[in-house]
Amino acid sequence: MAIPKVMGVETEYGITVRNQPDFNPILSSLLLINSYETYRAARIRWDYEAESPLRDARGFEYAEEKELPSKEESRLINLILSNGARYYVDHAHPEYSTPECTNPRDLVVWDKAGERILNLSRMRAEAVSPPEQRIVIYKNNTDYKGNSYGCHENYLMDRRTPFTRIAQHLMPFLVTRQVFTGSGKVGSENNTEPCQYQISQRADFLETEVGLETMHSRPIINTRDEPHADPEKYRRLHVIVGDANMSEFTTYVKVGTTAIVLALVEDDAIDRDLSLENPVVAFRGISRDLTCRQPVRLKDGRTLTPIDLQREYLELAHRYYRDRELDPVTKDVLVKWEYVLDRLAEDPMTLTRELDWVIKRDLLEGYAAKYALDWTDPRVAMIDLQYHDIRPGKGLYGKLEEAESVERIVTDDEVVKAMYDPPKDTRAYFRGMCLQRYSEEIVSASWDSIIFDLKEGPLKKIFMLEPLRGTEAFVRQLLEESPTAPDLLRNISKPSVV
C-alpha cells in the first residue's frame, strides 16, 4: 500500500532593486531575510550535518568536498520559521520552503503564506533602505537573461519502490502535465527554438532525461537522494521541472495529480508503458503548442496528444481508487483533473480563471491588441514579468485575485494564519511549536532534528525521522506538560525520536 504523500514546495524568488546602480542580488536577499521578524529572540542555525545533495538515487554518491557555511554564515542566511518553514538565501535568490503538508490544499495555504512572508520582508527592508530604492520580488522562473531558477516539489515515497519504475512512469506524466501546470512565458531562451509565447517557463532549460544536477544540464527526472527522514524507509522525490505558480488552482492540481500518480507507481498500478521516444524534445514541443493537440511519439511507435496521455493516467487513477476509500481532497483533485483536461481539449482559452499560462496569455493578447504591439515588443515582456510581482496593488495576478477574476482554493484568513502557525498533521507542528515556545534554548534545527542547549551539559538533539509523527495529536499533551525546554527533554520518553 502506497505511503501517505507528505509534500512540500521550495520556491526561489526573483529579486531586483530599482534605483540601485550597484545592485547585488545576494546582499539584497540577505537584507530581505534578515528583515523578517520571527518569534525568536536569538538566531538559530540551520543544521547542515544530515544534508547530502550529492547522493544519487541510482546508488552512488559524487565524491566532491562539501563546503558548509560557518556558524555565523548559517545564522545570516537562514531563518527557521514558527510555521515550520525554512526561509533562506540560496545562491542569489531568497528561497521559501514550505513546511511538510499531507495534502495539496494545505500546500497551497502554506505556499501562499510564503508570498506574504516575502512581501512583509520587502516592506521591512524598504523601511531601512534609501527612499528611492524599491525592492521588487517576482515569483517566476527566469530573469529573461538566460538564467533560470527553480520551484521544486518534494514527495515522500517508499524506499522499496525501484527508482527505475519511478523514472519510467513519471517521465511521460511530468512532460505532459505542463499543459495545466505551466506559468506561461513570452519568447524563448537557452538557444532553443524561437516562439512568441509558450506554456512553460522551465521547458527551455531542461536538457537531459535523468540526472542529479539542478543548476545546469537540468534533467526531467532528478535523482537527488536526500530523504530528510529515515533513509531506510523513505526517499524524497525531488521534482525540479515545475513552474512557480501564482494561481492557487494550478498549484493545487499540479501537486495533487502528481501525488496521485506517485501512489500508482508505488503500488505498481500502472500496467501500460507510456514511455516517450524523446522526452526532452517532447517537453519543449508541448510547451510551444498552445492548442495542446500536437501529438508526441511514444517509444512503441504510437502517437498521443498531451491531453490524451494525461487521460491515460486519469483512467488509471479512477481504476486505482475504485475499490479504495477516497478522502475529500483526492476526490476533488480527480474531479478538477478531468475538468481541466476536458476544457483543454475543447479550447484552452476557456480556462482563463484557472490556469496560469492561459490567464497570462489572455492578459497579454488583450494588452498587445489594445496598443497594437508585436509579441517581441519589450512592453509585452514587462507585462509577463508584472504578472508575477508579489507586491499588493502592483502584481497583475494579485489584481485579478482582488477583482475575483480567478479561482481560489483557500481563504485569506487561512493564509494569514499559516504565516505564523504550522500544519497540525506533520512533524512541522512539533518544529514550529518548539520555535514558538523554546527558541532561547534552540541552537540549530533542520527538517529532521532540533538541537537544544540547556546551558549545562552537552547539547541535546531530538531526531524527527518520521514525517507523520510530531503532529498536534501526537505531541499536544507533551507540550502542555512541558512549559520549559528542560521539561520537554525530560518528558520525552524516547529522546532519540519524536
With the C-alpha atoms ordered 134, 140, 143, 148, is the resulting torsion angle positive or negative? positive
Residue 187 CA from chain centroid, whole number: 24
* DSSP structure class, residue 205: G
Q: What are phi and psi of 259, to 5 degrees?
A: -60, -40
Bridge-based pairing state of the strands 93-97 and 206-211: unpaired
Residue 291 CA from chain centroid, whole number: 27
Give the burial class of 354: count Cβ atoms within 10 A of its Cβ; 0-12 exposed, 13-18 middle, 19 or more buried: buried
Q: Name the catalytic one among 47, 56, 90, 300.
A: 90
Q: Which three cell numbers stand for residue 416?
A: 494569514
Under 8 Å between Cβ of 194 and 207: no
Q: Which three cell numbers stand for residue 292?
A: 495542446
Between the alpha carbon of residue 90 and those of residues 37, 78, 97, 149, 310, the distances in Å are: 19, 9, 11, 10, 34
**H-helix segments, 347-411:** 356-370, 378-387, 396-402
Between the alpha carbon of residue 126 and those of residues 32, 116, 123, the distances in Å are: 9, 15, 5
Spatial distance between the Cα atoms of 439 and 449, rounded to a whole number of angstroms: 14
**Catalytic: 332?**
no
Give me the active site residues, please. Answer: 90
